[in-house]
Amino acid sequence: MTDIALIESAREFNRFYTNFLGLLNKAYLDTPFTLTDARVLFEIGTHNGVNAGALARDLQLDPAYLSRILKRFREENLIEATPDPTDQRSQILTVTGKGRTQFEELGRRSNAQIAARFDTLADGEPQAAVAAMHTIRAILEPQARPAAAVIRPHRAGDIGWIVQSQGRFYAEEYGWDLRFEGLVADVAGKFLANFDPEMEYCWIAERGGINLGSVLITNGGDGIAKLRLLYVDKAARGLGLGRQLVDECIAFSRRKGYRQISLWTNDFLHAARAIYQKAGFQLVSEERHRMFGPEANGQTWVLDL
Amino acid sequence: MTDIALIESAREFNRFYTNFLGLLNKAYLDTPFTLTDARVLFEIGTHNGVNAGALARDLQLDPAYLSRILKRFREENLIEATPDPTDQRSQILTVTGKGRTQFEELGRRSNAQIAARFDTLADGEPQAAVAAMHTIRAILEPQARPAAAVIRPHRAGDIGWIVQSQGRFYAEEYGWDLRFEGLVADVAGKFLANFDPEMEYCWIAERGGINLGSVLITNGGDGIAKLRLLYVDKAARGLGLGRQLVDECIAFSRRKGYRQISLWTNDFLHAARAIYQKAGFQLVSEERHRMFGPEANGQTWVLDL
DNA sequence: TCAATTTAATTGACTCAGTCAAATAAAAGC
DNA sequence: GCTTTTATTTGACTGAGTCAATTAAATTGA
């Protein structure tokens, strides 16, 4: 569950932006097009060759309604529809010369609206607003994101992120109290304070500047590497990031001459457990505990290298 | 004239957000309300006592259309309209008990929609998106005054946030290395691990679900309260949050019977220093150090209570 | 392979959200 | 006190958008 204040903020913005868009869309008032018409023409104009189905999906329009709009556009000679050779039910939509002229005219109007608004702003404000728009879009439109997550060493702020995300996750999902976040902070703090770059490491998985996962290897002495704070954010589950992070740990530990990797986890973390098992870790001990409130089964797993 | 690429970007965002809002507004599909109905009811519910004219202006609705919506709401006993004593043409609109119930139900649905969307996002992404929304709104609607910041005790994830924001801030601004983040994590971890709710406290300043600042009081023994990790995000500088946080610390420490508050800071933190001085803290010692890379002047300040 | 099912697009039949012009009635201006 | 302006309502539409049924091509699977 997300913070309620955050949701209220988002709603407030949505109300504001609904108004704002309403204002902008008055640009179409003295054209023969409605907002929906304009959206359809725009979509065909920019994605020449789409079919009606894709259009209806992308613009969230009723297929019946869209069909009528397209019919009108055809009658007015704004678009052409040729049957898709690979699927005779479908048709490929393209704008005609006349359609393109109209489309460009709509674009000019729309640009003028926004330019007028931007021209009332202070220097640098349009840039800041557009940067914020990119941020929102990158977050809310997942398919527009760079697909690949990268794994990289930690930077300033990352360790704090680990503490925050683990603290929040275990509290929300398992009802663990703040002592757990304290433990994570302690482990993380010691890691940074005594950081030995020769024998220790922290990996952060990130995508588009947003952290998605983490793990770290600390030196447990006696040739034992401790794998700690494995975490994969819920937005990135199922991408194999957990596995990749553990593999990094194993490769690093081998390279550095450790003879064993040891880790502590809890039995309810099924996904993590599956990763450890698949990587060859063995369960060596298990104990019931109430360290952080609710009862849980702590488990120690090891992998001989 | 504003840069054309900027305008195109804004238009692209607008198209995207039109779709996004369209998706969200499906929340009303199985209610007897249209989006416009919901907007009107929301506006009356939150601004009890508005008149129809203001409503039409704010929501950019046709007065005729609005009049009919209000008539329907009156007939369904959702709102009440009493003539404005200062202007008999106008009427003051208020929600009835039934109207308020409906209004709250709509709010719940709307919240649920956004929560469902946010729950698919990575940790920190909702916060980042909402922060960007604030940015946009502040630019496009300058007269809108931001919601008031509130100061509240810490919750799960907050301590991690403190570590992250301080770690990042000192690294970016002063080039401090990760040992500093380690120190913060250590302090924060110990705070949580040994948390004594009788004598210790953590305050988080937040606005609309976005954390803006923090401070904590730990028990230093000998009747000395330690003020630690004072931080105000750059997005919230100049609002007096730092002062408020320090005031909370002083009031708490007095209430709990501490005889002195002590804190450690660095001389380049001018804003913080001004707050401490104004609150009556005295500089008692100063030493040069290189604990976190660049040379700095550490300072100890105390306030006798 | 061919009957059953699914998918893409269209058509029929509505309705109700939203518009525009005119009317009413109170307030403000001259 | 007469005219003009402002807040709201009513009359009279219309066309944007919906829902169910239909057509026809593609896909599935026994």
Which of B115, B154, B167 is closest, CB to CB, to A2? B115
Say yes or no for a CB contact (<8 Å) between A17 and B21: yes
- Tell me the average pLDDT across B93-104: 87
**By three-state DSSP, how is residue A147 classified?**
coil
Q: Is pLDDT at A1 greater than 60 in this prediction? A: no
Distance CA B64, CA B57 (A): 12
The 10s digit of each residue's pLDDT in B150-209 is 899 999 999 999 999 899 889 888 889 889 999 999 999 999 988 898 999 999 998 767
Tokens read off for A14: 């949505």
Q: Which domains does chain A have, with CATH numbers?
A: 4-144 (1.10.10.10), 150-304 (3.40.630.30)
What is the pLDDT at residue A146? 53
The 10s digit of each residue's pLDDT in B18-75 is 888 887 877 776 677 888 888 888 888 888 888 888 888 888 888 888 888 888 888 8
Which chain B residues are Cβ-neighbours of A186 within 8 angstroms?
Answer: 185-186, 189-190, 193
Q: Is pLDDT at A230 greater than 70 in this prediction? A: yes
**By three-state DSSP, how is residue B221 classified?**
coil
Percentages helix, strand, coil for chain A (3-state, rounded to 5) are 50, 25, 25
Say yes or no for a CB contact (<8 Å) between A185 and B160: yes
Question: What is the CA B259 to chain-centroid distance, rounded?
Answer: 33
Q: Is pLDDT at B2 greater than 70 in this prediction? A: no
Tokens read off for B217: 């009081």
pLDDT top residue among B145 and B202? B202
- Residues A277 and A269: beta-carbon distance below 8 Å: no
- Residues B228 and B187: beta-carbon distance below 8 Å: yes
| Residue A126: its H or E element | helix A125-140
Among residues 40-99 of chain B, which lie with CB inside 8 Å of chain A? 42, 58-60
Distance CA B271 to C1' D12 in A: 66
pLDDT top residue among B207 and B285? B285
Percent of all residues in chain A with a pLDDT value above 70, rounded to a whole number: 94
Which of B115, B135, B155 is closest, CB to CB, to A128? B135
Distance CA B133, CA A20 (A): 13
Distance CA B195, CA B13 (A): 46
Q: Is pLDDT at A214 greater than 50 in this prediction? A: yes
- Tell me the average pLDDT across A83-95: 82
The 10s digit of each residue's pLDDT in A23-69 is 787 777 677 788 888 888 888 888 887 888 888 888 888 888 888 88
DSSP H helix total and E strand total for chain A: 10, 9
Distance CA B218, CA B261 (A): 10
DSSP H helix total and E strand total for chain B: 10, 9
Nearest DNA or RNA nucleotide to A69 (CA to C1'): D16
What is the pLDDT at residue B243? 93
- Tell me the average pLDDT across A94-103: 87
Distance CA B195, CA A23 (A): 52
- Tell me the average pLDDT across B116-143: 85
Mutate to test the interface with B, among A41, A123, A140 (most CBs of B within 10 A): A140
Residue B1: pLDDT band with limits 50, 70, 90: very low
Own/partner long-range contacts of B274-281 (Cβ < 8 Å, ≥24 apart): B275/B230, B275/B242, B275/B243, B275/B246, B276/B246, B276/B301, B276/B303, B278/B243, B279/B243, B279/B246, B279/B247, B279/B250, B279/B303
Q: Is pLDDT at A147 greater than 80 in this prediction? A: no
The 10s digit of each residue's pLDDT in B214-266 is 999 999 989 999 999 999 987 777 788 999 999 999 999 999 999 999 999 99
What is the pLDDT at residue A217? 95
In DSSP terms, A82 is beta-bridged to A92
Residues 6+ apart with CB under 8 A from B257: B223
- Residues A129 and B140: beta-carbon distance below 8 Å: yes
**By three-state DSSP, how is residue B70 classified?**
helix
Identify the top-confidence range among A228-232, B101-105, B133-137: A228-232
Strands across the sheet containing A210-219: A150-153, A201-207, A210-219, A224-232, A260-266, A296-304, A282-289
| Residue B10: its H or E element | helix B4-24
The residue written with tokens 């920190």 in the block is: B124
